[in-house]
Structure 1
Amino acid sequence: MTAPVRLLLVDDHPVVRRGLRAVFTDHPGIEVVGEAGDGERALALVPDLRPDVVLMDLRLGPGMQGAEATRRITALPGPPHVLVLTTYDSDADILAAVEAGATGYLLKDAPPEELLAAVRATAQGRAYLAAPVASRLLGRMRSPGPALSVRELEILELLARGLSNKQISRRLFISEATVKTHLVHIYGKLGVESRTAALAAAFDRGVIRPR
């Protein structure tokens, strides 16, 4: 008899975790071995619980976010696979998760059947991308213009939060001069000349999502 897939749920909303647990309760092939409400807790639980798959939300309130938790979890010895389950499908979110080592990326409006299939595929190490996510990645690859780098997307996300150049430099541990250089590159790629116009263009193209 095949052992069930061991699953760790990571989401900062207890109601969401409870709902996810209910989805898997009637499926003997998947066993929920634990829950975490933040990235730090998830990272601490993985060595003890030894899950096969970590079902990871990207936005986890204050503290370590999902992409960073994914990066640290996948860097552990013999790591589990990470399946992102989120409401966010912007370029910035998708690329951050993929770069961090996520095996799959699913949206929270997916039906239970797709969620179950995604967990099983991820447990086997097979990449699983929700159709809208795959479309965004293909669109990005086919885009005739220069693509924004992950660092440039990070800076745009922080601009959208209202951070100044100095605050961005502190958050990303880079100099203000480097932030300004990235902004010049961002403006050039988006065909704009100001922060406000850059954000408007990024929102319009779905590169980042309004908060």
Structure 2
Amino acid sequence: MVRILIADDHAIVRSGLSLLINSQPHMEVVGTAADGKEAVDLSLQLKPDVVLMDLSMPPGENGLTATKKLKETAPEINILVLTMHDDEEYLFRVLHAGASGYILKSAKDMELINAIQTVSQRAAYLYPSATKTLIQEFLFHVQKGEDVEHYNILTEREQEVLTLIAKGYSNKEIAEQLILSVKTVETHKSHIMEKLHLKTRPELVRYALKKGLLDL
């Protein structure tokens, strides 16, 4: 059973989403929040598998801030951002904050259910046009002659760590999966960023997409 917490400032949206999600045999809404602060507090209390997080929740704390806080305090909780903003600026900010997925409020019901299921399995989910945006950016750099094959200079262990980082796993989770210390994972991450000339999480996700390391 996938346990879900819904964060949205509109009561009618929370009710509608709850009805949709609870109608699925393998999903259950365990709580709802009206702003980011409440979403963080309830998530730490209820420990849901997935938080469905709205970006804009005036006048309370917004979803982007809440996502950052929640990933810092409970990195094991997966966050799927639900928003009306079809804008690459929001996409990159959401990924940088640590969210595992990004889907539009205009999405069809079953697309949303699929996104929740995907994120609950610790995989990344991006709506189709967002994936296209990332790929187009890669192609732009390739056409400019900026495509440098650095992946092969990574060790096998670094390649494993890179894939898990891009999929949204925390350093602790990676350490547990690969039977390493957190400090060793952090060292691998530092070497990866240095070798690939990457500085931010969105850059790493885009690189992983290019290399086919993420199954979106």
Report if aligned partners of 2:103, 2:127 keep a CA contact under 8 Å in 1: yes
Partner of residue 72 from structure 1, selected from 48, 69, 74:
69
Once the two structures are superposed, what CA deviation does each residue of 1:36-95 show, in whole Å capped at 9, x if it has no partner?
010010011111111000001111112321111111111114531000111112122111
Q: Gaps (5+ residues) in structure 2?
A: 145-216
Q: What is the distance in 1 between the residues matched to 2:25 and 2:75?
A: 24
Quick check: 1:5–1:52 contact (8 Å CA) kept in 2? yes
Q: Match for residue 90 of structure 2?
A: 93
How many residue pairs were aligned? 142
Distance 1:5 1:77 in 2: 17
Q: How does 1:165-184 map to 2 (within 5 A)?
A: none
Residue 105 (structure 1) aligns with: 102
In 2, Cα distance between equivalents of 1:142 and 1:61: 37
2:2/2:50 contact within 8 Å kept: yes
Secondary structure of 2:85's counterpart equals coil
Higher Cα radius of gyration = 1
Tell me the residue number matched to 2:173: none
1:13 to 10, 13, 18: 10
Deviation, structure 1 residue 96: 0.8
Residue identity over aligned pairs, in percent, reads: 39
**2:3 match: secondary structure:** strand
SS in 2 for 1:19: helix
Quote the residue 1:142 is aligned against.
139
Instruction: Give the alignment's Cα RMSD to 1 decimal.
Output: 1.5
Contact 1:53 1:82 in 2 (8 A): yes
Letter in 2 for 1:79: E
Matched, 1:41 2:38: yes
Q: What 5-or-longer segments of structure 1 have no aligned partner? A: 146-211
Q: Decide which moves more: 48-57 or 129-138.
A: 129-138
Contact kept, 8 Å, 2:4 with 2:29, in 1: the verdict is yes
Cα pair 2:44 2:74 within 8 Å, conserved = no
* TM-score, structure 2 normalization: 0.62
- Mapped to 2, the partners of 1:126 and 1:78 lie a distance apart of 14
Runs of 4 or more above 4 Å deviation: none
* Aligned match of 2:112: 115
What TM-score, normalized by structure 1, do the two folds share? 0.64
Residue of structure 2 aligned with 1:30, choices 15, 19, 27: 27
Q: Distance in 2 between matches of 1:95 and 1:63?
A: 22
